[in-house]
Amino acid sequence: MEAAIQSKKEIPRSAEKMDSELSKLGNNLVTKFHVLMRISQIYDSKNVALQQFIQESLHAINTFVQREGSIRLKIVGDDIFLNEQRLRYSVEGFTSFKYLLTQWKKRLIGEVLYKGALDEDALREFIYILMALEDGKEENATLFNETLKERHLSSIEVGPLEVSEKEEGAYTLEKENSREVGKKVFFETIGTVKEVITQIKGKQHADVRKLKRLVRKAVHLIMEDESILLGMTTIKNYDEYTFNHSVNVAIYSMAMGRRLGFSRGVLSELGITAMLHDIGKSKIPLEVLNKPAALTDEEWGQMKKHPLTGVEIVLNLKQLGEVNPKMVVGIFDHHLKNDLSGYPKLFHKKRVSLFGRIIQVADAYDAMTTPRIYKKVPLTPEQALAVMLQDRDVYFDSILLKMFIGLVGVHPLGSLVLLDTHEMGIVFKPNTDPQWIERPHVVLVDRDRRGRGKKELIDLTERNGGGRFKRSIVKTLDPNKYHVDIAKYFL
């Protein structure tokens, strides 16, 4: 099989040297493939509706070919490599990554090589031959290459999917690397929350079964090691605020629930409740939700209805199973505040439910630390915790708040910090001893002489011979300024 691609034995898995421009081009390519593959399922290859998408994709492909000489997209495990560098998932790109992986894997195609610039016909033919392949047929890559040859498309070659031993046989959560699972669960949950909210907005039937499944996986991960998902909450996505916010609030809430000793079942209920806490906002017009200026009284009135609207929506979600009062009340309560000075206004005084109190803390923290349209520079985690502590008895359950501070730490996971030794560190794990919340475990990020990042895990409570701390945090740094890729340490 001469046409098969000579694959290199070693593919460097590190994304260390991946420059961000290349990464952007790569993400763009994957998105374009995703769109083309989907469209080819709707229209036949001659349809004019394809034209625009083909042109856009050609532009992306040929720009890349011009720059790098060729394009090699290869699947290794659950990763996509572009010219031997691993492409990292992004929140926006995750669906496209997944689609490409599933579609290629299904057809046992693991690699595509473009040896030069393509023209419209070549790209069109390529997509339609690919999508017409039978699922699971061993000879697909050979057949594909033969067809390409027959049609004189010599600048394209494909290779078969290489199935590693790990992938063969049943593949359970335990066998996969937890961090990888965490990443997938996180991005998939954001995508699913988005789907549910879009369905509710469009008055369609909302399917929450997938969300329930994902929450169960998240609970499993939180029980195993809470720092994995907590680390993901540091990815603040400005454009996808509502979805990202819902998932973050759920992660914080579940981590608190775990510390309160909740069972898996109750943790799942709490997770779903937190995930849907702002679902009532899907009925508020976007102009009001994203209004950069102060809201009018009428707009505030609309805003204040969202807990109640949320309850109505949740009561109508069929697949939620038996609707648990804890979940409904949790959504109703999440803006009541500890002294009941929040909203909705109550006719009879009651104590804010435990779910409500937990979500209130998680919600306030995430909202304050995330950039918004009307507040582009968010509070730093330290500032947010300080504000919350100031109003602790009015707004929050002070015991839960204390617990939350222990959870995220004064220096939350993923913060880039300057140490008094002039080293830089990334906060990796909070200190489990509450008296040392200011002294988390950090990973040092300064470079050795060869320019490689050191990955030494340091406990900041370590002292030297004289009893003084070896290292202390001086201040938090902006990771963008120092070109430190924080996600690399968590993803």
Q: Which residues contact 112 (CB under 8 A, 6 or more apart)?
A: 71, 72, 73, 74, 156, 157, 158, 159
Greatest Cα pair distance, the chain, in angstroms, is 79
* Closest separation in Å from C-beta 367 to Fe ion: 6
Q: What is the DSSP string of 273-334?
A: HHHTTTGGGGGS-HHHHT-SSPPPHHHHHHHHTHHHHHHHHHHT-GGG-SPPHHHHHHHHHT
28 vs 253, beta carbon nearer Fe ion? 253
Which of 196, 239, 256 has the alpha carbon at shortest distance from 405?
A: 256
243 vs 428, beta carbon nearer Fe ion? 243
Interacting residues with Fe ion between 241 and 280 (CB under 5 A): 278
For Fe ion, what does the binding mask look like between residues 139 and 168, x meaning CB under 5 A?
------------------------------
Alpha-carbon distance of 437 to 410, in angstroms, equals 6
Strand extents, DSSP E, 120-273: 156-160
* Closest separation in Å from C-beta 280 to Fe ion: 8
Residue identified by tokens 């979500």 is 359
278 vs 333, beta carbon nearer Fe ion? 278
Alpha-carbon distance of 23 to 86, in angstroms, equals 9
278 vs 397, beta carbon nearer Fe ion? 278
Q: Count residues binding Fe ion (CB under 5 A).
A: 2
157 vs 366, beta carbon nearer Fe ion? 366
Which of 34, 161, 177 has the alpha carbon at shortest distance from 98?
A: 34
* Closest separation in Å from C-beta 351 to Fe ion: 19
Interacting residues with Fe ion between 360 and 379 (CB under 5 A): 363
* Closest separation in Å from C-beta 245 to Fe ion: 6
* Closest separation in Å from C-beta 362 to Fe ion: 9
Alpha-carbon distance of 199 to 281, in angstroms, equals 13
Q: What is the DSSP string of 155-172?
A: TEEEEE----GGGSS---
Degrees, nearest 5: CA angle 189-81-161:
90
Which of 155, 143, 159, 126 has the alpha carbon at shortest distance from 37?
A: 126
* Closest separation in Å from C-beta 284 to Fe ion: 10
156 vs 407, beta carbon nearer Fe ion? 407
For the chain, the distance separating the N- and C-terminal CA atoms, rounded to the nearest angstrom, is: 38
Q: Left if phi > 0, otherwise alpha if psi is -120 to 50, otherwise beta: which for 323? A: beta
* Closest separation in Å from C-beta 456 to Fe ion: 38
219 vs 274, beta carbon nearer Fe ion? 274
226 vs 363, beta carbon nearer Fe ion? 363
Interacting residues with Fe ion between 304 and 363 (CB under 5 A): 363
* Closest separation in Å from C-beta 276 to Fe ion: 10
Give the phi and the psi of residue 73 in degrees, each rounded to 5.
-105, 125
Residue identified by tokens 């899907």 is 282
191 vs 342, beta carbon nearer Fe ion? 342
Asked whether 370 and 241 are in contact (CB, 8 A), the reply is: yes
246 vs 415, beta carbon nearer Fe ion? 246
For Fe ion, what does the binding mask look like between residues 277 and 296, x meaning CB under 5 A?
-x------------------
* Closest separation in Å from C-beta 27 to Fe ion: 29
* Closest separation in Å from C-beta 306 to Fe ion: 6
- Sheet containing 424-429: which strands, arranged edge to edge? 457-459, 441-444, 424-429, 416-419, 473-477
> Which residues of this chain interact with Fe ion, rule CB under 5 A?
278, 363
